[in-house]
Structure 1
Amino acid sequence: MGKPDAEGHGPPDGLPDLPPEWGRVVVPDDASALAAEAAQIRRELRRATGRAAGHRALALPLLVLLVAVLTTLAGLLAVTWPRTQRGADRPTPAPYAPPASLTGQALPAMDLVDAGQTPVPLRGLLPAMIILVDGCTCPDRVTEAVAAAPPGVAVLTVAGGRTVAATPPTPGRTVRALADPTGGLRAFLGQPSRADTATALLVDRTGTVTRVLAELGPAEAYRKDLAALAA
């Protein structure tokens, strides 16, 4: 039970003693006597609440700034990180080469067109050296081929679309200039045209492909094959 102080004051019966460090606690009869202390306590609470709100308001901009800085650093690191193996995982383009299976295959029956847009059956011109000039007219290479072709072997130039390509003058021989509006010959070859490159097919009188020249070069590279067509 509580003990009275020096003046005989003590806690009401049934209540525990107050901590001695609180000193003497006096409860006034009129509550208005505590108005000044209450006002002071309210001021302290408002200041504490304002400081806490200020900290919360400042935390959000700081968080946004931190995220932006980290994102920027990650981007710079990704760009500047040394990549010694850059490009090593990319496949090396294979050299241009026609399908090996074309040699020995039969040339499909197809119609080309001449300068007057008249259909010309390709198989009716065999044996022949057929030069695809949709990537390059290559007049020097065409002239060499005409000069190397033996009698009885036709030399044909075939352009893409319906426009027949101009042929170089060839004394004593005639180059048959045709066009392939449907692209059937290029599709049979199985390879796209290439700039500054002419491709040639050597086909015997039975319609069998005897050689494919992916890049038409000097006549010495295929002279024997031309002679075999005339046999």
Structure 2
Amino acid sequence: MGVPDADGQGPPEGLPGLPPEWGRVVIPDDASALADEARQVRRELRRQRREARGTGAHTASTRIGLPTLILLVSVLVTLAGLAAVTWPRAHRSDTPTGRPPISATPQPVGPLPALDLAGVGDTPVPLRSLLPAMIILVDACACAEQVGTAVRAAPPGVTVVTVTEGRRARPATLPGVRPLGDPAGGLRSYLHLTPRPDTAVALLVDRRGTPVRLVPELGPLSDYGADLARLGG
């Protein structure tokens, strides 16, 4: 049987007073009578713990996931930039023989310098005294066929000069060619070109000493014929 603690009778002896707003509180003689209430309280506590764990896990995953996402985006942007820089590009050549277009080749800087080259018997020959001229460097290749084509195509008044790097000029094998030697290598230094095996380089210079065309690999007349013809004008 329960023991009342209100209704004007006061609390049982030895128990503190309870707030009036609690109303009538009955303490059962048998604790098993509170089993249903205990189960309800335990369910409510378990529910609150689950919600607390779920909220904490969601907050933690949000805190961890956001920096990871930012790092991933940064890595992808960096890789895309590297790919754009290092991605191989196909090389386009406008010439069927694979030679670089004339317009894309290195050009001399400034007018032809006043070089004294070596003629027959080591006689000094001012190169500018032979202008206008087609100057062919033959130290890496005699290229007799290409030189012969240039000689036949040269208009009157245009000198075809072959230059060999070294003190002595290579003997002329074709009529109409002026062979010279370049002891100091000044012409190659001016052109910023190193010798390439089996390759002759040609430089077309007008009468004022201004370079008109640099042909880094002397080939067919179609590569330079129009400019050679203009040198005689």
Q: Map of 1:128-147 to 2, 5 A cutoff?
A: 128-147=133-152
**Residue 201 of structure 1 aligns with which residue?**
203
List structure 1 segments (4+ residues) > 3 angstroms apart after TM superposition: 94-98
Q: Map of 1:48-197 to 2, 5 A cutoff?
A: 98-100=105-107, 102=108, 105-170=110-175, 174-197=176-199
Identity %: 54
Whole-angstrom distance in 2 between the partners of 1:149 and 1:203: 13
| Secondary structure in structure 2 of the residue aligned to 1:116 | helix
Aligned residues: 136
Q: Which 5+ residue runs of structure 2 have no aligned equivalent?
A: 1-85, 92-98
Whole-angstrom distance in 1 between the partners of 2:192 and 2:105: 7
- C-alpha displacement at 1:203, in angstroms? 0.1
- C-alpha displacement at 1:98, in angstroms? 4.3
Whole-angstrom distance in 2 between the partners of 1:120 and 1:206: 17
| Secondary structure in structure 1 of the residue aligned to 2:162 | strand
Whole-angstrom distance in 1 between the partners of 2:137 and 2:106: 16
- TM-score normalised to the size of structure 1? 0.55
Whole-angstrom distance in 1 between the partners of 2:184 and 2:105: 20
Supply the AA of the counterpart residue of 1:217: G
Whole-angstrom distance in 2 between the partners of 1:180 and 1:128: 16
The two structures, once aligned, show a CA RMSD in angstroms of 2.2
- C-alpha displacement at 1:164, in angstroms? 1.1
Whole-angstrom distance in 2 between the partners of 1:196 and 1:166: 18
> Structure 1 residues 181, 98: closer, same or farther in 2, change over 3 A?
farther
- TM-score normalised to the size of structure 2? 0.54
Whole-angstrom distance in 2 between the partners of 1:181 and 1:169: 22
Whole-angstrom distance in 1 between the partners of 2:174 and 2:162: 13
Is the contact made by 1:98 and 1:190 (CA closer than 8 Å) also made in structure 2?
no
Whole-angstrom distance in 2 between the partners of 1:161 and 1:98: 25
Q: Which 5+ residue runs of structure 1 have no aligned equivalent?
A: 1-88
| Secondary structure in structure 1 of the residue aligned to 2:168 | coil
Is the contact made by 1:98 and 1:191 (CA closer than 8 Å) also made in structure 2?
no
| Secondary structure in structure 2 of the residue aligned to 1:194 | coil
